[in-house]
Structure 1
Amino acid sequence: MVSVNLGVLHYVLDHVYGAFLHRTRLSTPFFSSGWGGSNLVLLENMVKQLFPEAASQNWPPKMVRPSWNTLWETKTACLREGVFRTPCDEQLINALPPESHHARVAFLTPKFVQPQNMACVVHLAGTGDHTYERRLRLGGPLLKENIATMVLESPFYGQRRPRLQRGAKLRCVSDLLLLGRVTIEESRSLLHWLEGEAGYGKTGICGLSMGGVHAAMVGSLHPTPVATLPFLAPHSAVVAFCEGILKHGTAWEALREDAAQKAEMTLEQVRERLRSVLSLTDVTRFPIPKNPESVIFVAATDDGYIPKHSVLELQRAWPGSEVRWVTGGHVSSFLLHNNAFRKAIVDSLDRLPWREP
């Protein structure tokens, strides 16, 4: 009885937190400026290029060579920040806001260990994660395991946030597809750099919530074995915006007003159109990773944002992958279960072979 009540409490906490963020007038809703016009059509086509039926997956990606600046160092560790121009092609860059043309990464490494004897995991941002700090706190304790942490600042977030965007609330549906496509391209280029020029013996990709969806996509598309760790992540953005709590933070009326033939469209038809667009982010349509046994999902038992069926759909699509459950909701697990996330990172990397120098 106690565990049932605790489960209800975690679930209610997600809804209270969601109501505060998404049902009050403290912030604008998602997609308040509509679909994104011609950008949406462009991006729908570009996102489709990531799917397995595409003729090419654009590999190898453009090599990135970040310009590094040391933020701090101790006797045993060093934190650097790197800046590089996004490696995306010009058509994609032209669709980005100018603020997002250059990417930033934080790179936390142990000293006195050769890269070929180390692993490095790239950490991707969840919704609203504008800074490095939370992900550095997650990765920091892994230094003692000789695991370095690289934190990517997402387009539309942090110093890459467009001037007219308030907080994490993307203004157009096309912005969500653009954020995802650019994050995937940048992550693949960073992994290529880590494995090639930097010479790391093992690499991984992880993320929480939205970042977990992107991590799953990157792990799916990577041509060599990589640890893949989606945390508290759905199999598709459809789940988050059309089924979970974020549906209460979506500007449905603005989408209806911006739709073609808006006088004839009902709100239900608008929801179906959004489902259709966001189905492009369905990770079950992506290839099975090269090493599915190194895919570990960490999901919450009472998640108000991500239903259990969504996690299990992706596990079924990737035979050999593992799901680990933590007790809690989306918010409480985000706060309380970092040790479970770290354990998953260590275990996933342990299932990888070391690369030849």
Structure 2
Amino acid sequence: MHLLDLIFGVAIRGHRFFEDGWGDRALCAAADPELLLRRRARPIDVRLTAGKRAHGGIVRDGTFESPEERLPPCACTARVKLLLPEGELRGVFVHLAASGDQGFGMRLRFAEPLLAQGVGAAVLENAYYGARRPDAQLRHAVRSVADMHLMAAATFLEGRALLRWLRDALGAERVGVTGYSMGGQLAAMVGAAAPFPVAVVPVAPACSPDSVLRAGVLRHVPSWPKLAAEGETEESVRESLLAMAAQFSVTCLPAPVYPEAAIVVGTASDGFVPPSDMRRIAEHWGAELRWLPAGHVSAILRHQGAMRQAMLDALERLDAAPLPRRRPRREALRDDAVKTAPPAIAARPGRRDRPRGAALRQRRPATRRPPRA
């Protein structure tokens, strides 16, 4: 375990989760990622504001009604910031939030250098975070287990809907999804649920939430006594919660439809998420696994360039996927308030014209489709 992970884990113990206990037990018992996968993916109507120059590109604020209808009124309207390059648009990644990442600024700053490569970002605000946070909730510490389930379900459905909107309404021919830690796990699940080829780059992801609460530095964050009913011990309620969390696993879903464009970025000395979880996702998908020589915290401080490179490589590999060609929806990108030409959607190169760099030569391991865990 990296020393920074241990120090950071001790520092955040004051923010206890689940102070209201389980919440709606029926909702918790019904949580099932396969049921979410089978839910009809209805198109979303993203309402965009006029663009402004920021973060080295054009930023637009967007809102849409969440496909997750069980959310409280404060969280029903999803918020997203769209960051696009002023020139050619090669693709767009949906960026999902890590635990505690309530604003947009950190992920927008992470996405800035990718604009020079023609790669934009759609940064989603989680339900129960930021402007979507209930009044009684302190910072990111959700009040109940049911709230946590709803946040994960909403992020899953909203992320999946955003991928389709970017492709069909915005006209981006190449789309992807990424995230760090909790955002990495949800990015893996969103990428697996997409019915068309997408670039999937989960960074430091857990395979399922129980592994983080079982042995990592966050195992003391839940308010375990508040989850125990009369006559229950903390140990029994701990096992009950871990068993429920284990059902929300990446391995419950199939591999992405084009796993060649999936790259799992692991953190070798992680004290929050077991590195074995990252290996498990890659093996389940038959996808490439890249290790960072870092812990959970130090990876963010020192290895963002490697994370961005994985995103670029995954997006480039989509050129070999059986993608249907789509006519760019340039009117969706036009903004009269900004005196600049609308970003052009980059045409996919033909087989002969496609760059043959080292990234394209990296293919997934010889073991193509290992049995599911």
Normalising by structure 1, we get a TM-score of 0.86
Give the Cα–Cα distance (whole angstroms) in 2 for the partners of residues 139 and 35 of structure 1: 36
Match of 1:14 among 2, 5, 13: 5
Give the equivalent residue in structure 1 for 2:316: 350
AA in 2 matched with 1:17: F
- Structure 1 residue 301 corresponds to structure 2 residue 301: no
Instruction: Return closer, same or farther for 1:163/1:75 CA change in 2, 3 Å cut-off.
Output: closer
Tell me which amino acid in the other structure corresponds to 1:345. Answer: M
CA-CA distance at 1:80 after TM superposition: 0.6
1:122 deviates by: 0.2
Match of residue 97 from structure 1: 72
Asked if the contact 1:70–1:78 (Cα under 8 Å) also holds between the matched residues in 2, the reply is no
Residues 109, 143 of structure 1: 8 Å contact kept: yes
Residue type at the aligned position of 2:16: P
Question: Which of residues 103, 128, 131 in structure 2 aligns to 1:159?
Answer: 131
**Contact map agreement 2:127 2:133 (CA 8 A) in 1:** yes
* Contact persistence 2:268–2:293 (CA under 8 A): yes
The separation in 2 between residues aligned to 1:40 and 1:333, in whole angstroms, is 37
1:69 matched to 2:49? The reply is yes
- Tell me which residue corresponds to 2:281: 314
**Corresponding position of 2:259:** 292
Note the 1:20-99 alignment, pairs <5 A. 20-22=11-13, 27-36=14-23, 39-45=24-30, 47-48=31-32, 50-51=33-34, 57-59=38-40, 61-70=41-50, 72-73=52-53, 77-88=57-68, 90=69, 92=70, 96-99=71-74
Answering whether residue 75 of structure 2 is matched by residue 109 of structure 1, we say no
**SS of structure 2 residue aligned to 1:241:** helix
In the TM superposition, residue 87 of structure 1 has moved relative to its aligned partner by 2.3
Partners of 2:279 and 2:25 lie apart in 1 by: 30
Aligned to 1:333: 299
Q: In the alignment, which residue of structure 1 is the partner of 2:185?
A: 213
Is the 1:204–1:228 Cα contact (8 Å) retained in structure 2?
yes
- CA deviation string 1:238-279 (max 9, x = no partner): 0112221111111111111xx3xx31x222111110111101
Q: By how many angstroms is 1:160 displaced?
A: 0.6
> Matched residue of 1:182: which SS?
helix
Which protein is richer in helix relative to its size?
A: 1
Matches for 1:112-131 after TM superposition, within 5 Å:
112-113=87-88, 118-131=90-103
Instruction: Indicate the percent of aligned positions where both proteins have the same amino acid.
Output: 35
Helix, strand or coil: the match of 1:70? coil
Amino acid in structure 2 at the alignment position of 1:69: T
Structure 1 residue 97, shift from structure 2 partner: 2.4
Equivalents in 2 of 1:244, 1:112: separation in Å?
Answer: 43
C-alpha distance in 2 between matches for 1:132 and 1:344: 21
* Local SS of the residue matching 2:220: helix
Q: Secondary structure at the match of 2:59?
A: strand
Structure 2 gap segments, 5+ residues each = 327-373
Query: What is the identity, as a one-letter code, of the residue corresponding to 1:293?
Result: E
Aligned-pair CA distance for 1:76: 7.2
CA distance in 1 between partners of 2:246 and 2:55 (Å): 48
SS of alignment partner, residue 334 of structure 1: helix
Matched residue of 2:78: which SS? strand
Kept in 1, the 8 Å contact 2:65–2:78? The answer is: yes
Q: Deviations over 1:271-317 (max 9, x none)?
A: 11011110121111211111112111111121110112111122221
The answer to whether the aligner puts 1:168 opposite 2:148 as a matched pair is no
Aligned twin of 1:3: none
Contact preservation (8 Å) 1:44, 1:280? no
> Stretches of 4+ moved more than 6 A in 1?
none
**Counterpart-to-counterpart distance in 1, 2:266 and 2:146:** 28
Residues 76, 209 of structure 1: alpha-carbon distance in 2 compared, 3 angstrom cutoff? closer
Q: Deviation at 1:120?
A: 0.6
How far is the alpha carbon of 1:62 from its aligned partner? 1.9
Deviation at 1:68, TM superposition (A): 1.4
Matched, 1:196 2:168: yes
Deviation at 1:70, TM superposition (A): 3.3
Aligned residues: 323
Give the equivalent residue in structure 2 for 1:5. Answer: none
What whole-Å deviation, never above 9, does each CA across 1:337-356 have from its counterpart, x for those lacking one? 11011001000011113540
CA distance in structure 1 between the partners assigned to 2:108 and 2:55 by the alignment? 18
Deviations 1:1-21 (A, max 9, x none): xxxxxxx6xx12111111111
Q: Distance in 1 between matches of 2:295 and 2:72?
A: 34
CA RMSD of aligned residues (A): 1.8
CA contact (8 A) 1:124 1:214 kept: yes
Structure 1 unaligned regions, length at least 5: 1-7
What's the secondary structure of 1:333's corresponding residue?
A: helix
Q: 2:59 touches 2:84 (CA, 8 Å); kept in 1? A: yes
Distance 1:68 1:340, change over 3 A: same
1:62 to 1:314, Cα distance in 2 relative to 1, 3 A: same
Secondary structure of the corresponding residue to residue 351 of structure 1: helix
